[in-house]
Structure 1
Amino acid sequence: MVNWTNFDALDSYQALKNVDAVNVREVMSGESGAQRVKKYSVPMAEGMAYNYAAKAVDDDILAVLQKLSDEAQLTEKYEELYNGAVINTGEKRLVLHQLCRGQLGKDVVVDGVNKREFYQAQQDRIAKFANDVHAGKIVNGKGEKFTTVVQIGIGGSDLGPRALYLALENWAKTNHTLKMQAAFISNVDPDDASAVLNNIDVEHALFIVVSKSGTTLETLTNAAFVEDALKKAGVDPSKHMLACTSETSPLANNDKFLDSFYMDDYIGGRYSSSSAVGCCVLSLAFGPEVFARLMAGAHAADETAKEKDILKNPSLLDALIGVYERNFLDYATTAVLPYSQALSRFPAHLQQLDMESNGKSVNRFGEKVNYVTGPIIFGEPGTNGQHSFYQLLHQGKTIVPLQFIGFKDSQIGNDVVIEGSTSQKKLDANVAAQIVAFACGKDDENPNKNFDGGRPSSIIIGQQLNPETLGALLAHFENKVMFQGFVWNINSFDQEGVQLGKVLAKRVLAHDTDGALAVYSDLLEI
């Protein structure tokens, strides 16, 4: 029997309040630090590792975190989720994004439909469509092959797929698997759509309109903008536009589209990269085989998330350490710092994933909670960030936990040796140096050059960023956010916080305003 209990009602909550703090600078200095780096590392899927040596934990704290996991029934709740329980209490829905990546438990059947078979069928349909496009069996109005695919969507319909595309674009070029260039239109700002259209060959582009409901204002506005551009180019929009939507939306089976591919209400936008939302654009860009490899990596990570032992479950361990930092060390922010330019938009995806999921102040039953929940997430790739906001991270008054991601090999495979080392070695030297600099600091008589240290961090290390490791990274963070939501007893799968602004915006456009809303509307000449 699974019990949903507020965090502060658990015995483990009180135990964590009483544990002895760990001095990161002290334990990471000298031989002690060397031993920690070797000891505090957990294997991940696809040959990666989660190293948490520079976090403010020790064996005693880890033992309490294990008790927390057991008491809060975290892996049991995960099992409930993938076996089809109504986990999204706000919208009374199942949560099934992991099911897009493979079967984890028993069959999930809703209204007579096996959901794993449904998701697989959509992937199979998309694979056939993509292969036909690549083979020139599906062509534009002039009988010519499509060369570009453009995703039109916002939020989860943009951030995740865009991050994944950028992560694999150069890998695909290096490995000769890039089938089509991809671009993305998300912002309702007309300059966004115009900039994309001015940089592609419209006559040889396929456009994917992504909206589960088929009513998303920004997406429909941008779709109309693109449709107008196609008409002005003398092109029939219905020969260039696809829909990715639900089977009951106004976009489904619509003769305005070349074809329609389907998702459902059981996959939230920020979790939708594994669904048709990501499958369509990524299969067209890289080929269905590459998307299948991405899903295989994600599934492997989903399997490790079943482990009850937190030292064998990296996403659970990462989640629990994050909870300890947020609720007992009072760290409000986490920086995601990938030392990989290919992951340039991954922090933006994780920002939505984490903050939209766990930015809540009521529990699963709509009752106020008395403890803080999700952290603020931000980040940029290294080494760019070092020359930007690292100043505050090193010497500011606010301590920010750091999540590094690094790879031993580049995606290009033929790096150049400059001054005795390759570019990749220089990149990795920087991330190693930063971890130690943040943890150990440096004493100096000049206050401007003094570093207090004690800044906690972890690092995920892989051999190379490729489809499998990228999929495992995606699932690792999705599962981390899920486990933290379980600890805090909140619903990580709705997003009511984005709705109020939408409602007021519609009032502004309908000129139904008063008070401050009316004045701001006048200032902007709406």
Structure 2
Amino acid sequence: MINWNNLDTLTSFKELSEVERVNLAEVMSGENGAERVKDYSVSMTEDLTYNYAAKAVDDKVLAALAKLAKEAQLTEKYAALYNGEVINTGEKRLVLHQLTRGQLGDKVEADGVDKREFYVKQQQRIADFANKVHAGEITNAAGEKFTTVVQIGIGGSDLGPRAMYLALENWAKKNGTFKMEAKFISNVDPDDAAAVLNSIDVAHSIFVLVSKSGTTLETLTNESFVKDALKNAGLDASKHMIAVTSETSPLAKSDDYLAAFFMDDYIGGRYSSTSAVGGAVLSLAFGPEVFAQFLAGAAKVDEVSKNEDLLKNPAMLDAMIGVYERNVLGYPATAVLPYSQALSRFPAHLQQLDMESNGKSVNRFGEPVDYPTGPVIFGEPGTNGQHSFYQLLHQGTNIIPLQFIGFKNSQIGTDVVIQDSTSQQKLCANVAAQIVAFACGKSDENRNKNFEGGRPSSIIIGKELTPETLGALLAHFENKVMFQGFVWNVNSFDQEGVQLGKVLAKRVLAHETDGALKVYSDLLDI
């Protein structure tokens, strides 16, 4: 039997709070540190490793975390999720994003269909469509091949797919799988759509409209913007657009689209990169085979995340260390720092994934919780971040845990040697140096140059950023967020916090305002 209890009611949480704190600077210094880096490491896949040596944990803390994970029934709750129980209590829905990349447990049926078969069918339909576009069997009205794909969507329909596209763009070009350039229109700000439309040849562009309900205001506004541009170019918009939507939406059977591919209510936007939301644009950009590799990487991590042994389950371990940092050590934020320019938008995706999922102050039953839940997430690629906000990370008044991501090899496979080392070696040298600098610090009589150290970090190390490793990375963070939500006893799969602003915006546009809302509307000439 699964029990959904608040964190502060669990006996093991009180025990965790009483475990002696670790002096990170001390344990990471000298030969102790060298042995620790070797020992505090766990394999995620054959190509990815999660190393947590520079976290403020030791065997006693880890044992307490394992006990907490067991009392919180994380393994059982994960199994309940992938076996099709109603985990999204706020909306009374199943949570099935893992099912887009593999069958982890029992057959899951909903709406009278086998959901795994449903997701595979959509992947096959997208693959067939993408192959026909690439082969020139589906063309524009002039019989010419499409060269650009533009995704129109906001939130999870933009952040995840955009981050994944940018992560694989150079890899695909290097490996001969680059099919079409992808662009993204998300913001209702007309400058966003105008900038994209001015940068492409609309006559050779295919547009992917992504809206589950078919009623998303920002997305439909941008669709109208695009349709006007196509009309002004003398083009039939219905020959240039496809939809990714639900089977019950008004877009599903509309003649305004070349084709419609389906998602459902069981996959939240921020978890939708492995569904048709990411599948259409990534398959068009790189080919269905690349998207399949991406799914395979995610499936491997989903499988590893079933392991009951905390020290052999990287996503659960990462989650539990994060809970310790948030709820015992009192750290307010986490910085995600990929030392890979290809992952430039990955932190932005993780901001939504984490903060929209676990930014909750009530539990699954709508009752207020008396402890901190999700942290603030932010980040930028290294080494750019080093010249931006690392000053605060090193010497600021708040200690902010760090999550590094690094790869031994670049995607492009070519490099230059300057001062006896390559660019990639310089990049890797920087991330290694930062981990130790944050952990160990440096004493100096000049207080302005003194580094206290004791700033915790982990690193995910990979061989190279490929479609499979990208899928594995994505699943790791999705599962980390899931496990933390289970521990905090919040519903990580709804997002009521985004609704109030939408409702008030509609009132403003309908001129049904009073008080401060009316004054702000007048100030903005609405």
Task: Report the TM-score when normalising by structure 2.
Answer: 1.00
Q: Which residue of the partner structure matches residue 503 of structure 2?
A: 503
Q: Residue in 2 aligned with 1:310?
A: 310
For residues 43 and 456 of structure 1, the distance between their equivalents in structure 2, rounded to whole angstroms, comes to: 20
Work out the CA distance in 2 between the residues paired with 1:513 and 1:342: 44
C-alpha change, 1:46 and 1:195, in structure 2 (3 Å) is: farther
1:46 positional shift: 3.9
Q: Distance in 2 between matches of 1:292 and 1:205?
A: 24
Q: Is the 8 A contact 1:2 1:77 kept in 2?
A: yes
Number of the residue aligned with 2:66: 66
Could you tell me which residue of structure 1 aligns to residue 127 of structure 2? 127
In 2: Cα distance, 1:59 partner to 1:46 partner: 25
Amino acid at match of 2:170: N
Q: Could you say which residue in structure 2 is the equivalent of 1:235?
A: 235
Return the alpha-carbon distance in structure 2 between the equivalents of residues 391 and 501 of structure 1: 34
Once the two structures are TM-superposed, the CA of residue 362 in structure 1 deviates from its matched residue by 0.5
Tell me which amino acid in the other structure corresponds to 1:399: I
Contact 1:46–1:300 at 8 Å: present in 2 too? no
Query: What is the CA deviation profile of residues 72-113 of structure 1, one whole-angstrom value per residue up to 9, with x for unaligned ones?
Result: 110110000000000000000000000000110010011320
- Indicate yes or no: 2:93 matched with 1:97: no
Separation in 1, partners of 2:435, 2:462: 16
- Kept in 2, the 8 Å contact 1:46–1:469? The answer is no
TM-superposed CA distance for 1:517, in Å, is 0.1
> Which residue type is aligned with residue 491 of structure 2?
N
Code of the aligned partner of 1:93: R
Distance in structure 1 (CA, Å) of the matches to 2:312 and 2:451: 34
Deviates more, 1:44-53 or 1:242-251: 44-53
Find the residue that maps to 1:410 and give its secondary structure. coil
Q: Tell me, in whole angstroms, the C-alpha distance in 1 between the residues paired with 2:68 and 2:445.
A: 43
Show CA shifts across 1:120-172 (max 9, x none).
00000000000000000000011000000000000000000000000000000
- Once the two structures are superposed, residues 376-433 of structure 1 have per-residue CA deviations (whole angstroms, 9 ceiling, x without a partner) of 0000000000000000100111110000000000001122222111110000000000
Distance 2:109 2:272 in 1: 20
Deviations 1:238-265 (A, max 9, x none): 0001100000011111001111000000
After superposition, the C-alpha distances for 1:9-31 in whole angstroms (9 at most, x for unaligned) are 10111011101001111111111
2:283 matches 1:265: no
Contact 1:252 1:260 (C-alpha < 8 Å) held by counterparts: yes
Aligned position for 2:332: 332
Q: Does 1:29 align with 2:54?
A: no
Q: Distance in 2 between matches of 1:86 and 1:163?
A: 29
| Structure 2 letter corresponding to 1:212 | K
1:6-85 alignment to 2 at 5 Å? 6-85=6-85
Gap runs ≥5 in structure 2: none
Paired residue type of 2:330:
D
3-state DSSP of counterpart to 1:139: coil
Question: In 2, are the aligned partners of 1:126 and 1:280 still within 8 Å (CA)?
Answer: yes
Q: Which structure 2 residues correspond to residues 55-454 of structure 1 after superposition, within 5 A?
A: 55-454=55-454
Inter-partner Cα distance in structure 1 for 2:232 and 2:265: 36
SS of residue in 2 equivalent to 1:45:
coil
Amino acid paired to 2:415: D
SS in 2 for 1:322: helix
- CA distance in structure 1 between the partners assigned to 2:221 and 2:298 by the alignment: 33
TM-score by length of 1: 1.00
Q: Determine the C-alpha separation between the residues in 2 that align with 1:268 and 1:411.
A: 31
Task: Find the aligned partners of 1:377 and 1:507 in 2 and give their Cα distance.
Answer: 31
What letter corresponds to residue 329 of structure 2 in structure 1? L
Q: Which residue identity is paired with 1:295? A: L
Q: Name the stretch that deviates more: 411-420 or 334-343.
A: 411-420
List structure 1 runs of 4+ shifted beyond 4 angstroms: none
Give me the whole-angstrom Cα distance separating, in 2, the residues matched to 1:17 and 1:470: 35
Q: Does 1:521 align with 2:516?
A: no
Counterpart secondary structure, 2:106: coil
Q: Within 2, Cα distance between the matches of 1:58 and 1:394?
A: 22
Cα distance in 2, alignment partners of residues 149 and 489 from structure 1: 40
Helix, strand or coil for the counterpart of 2:272?
Answer: helix
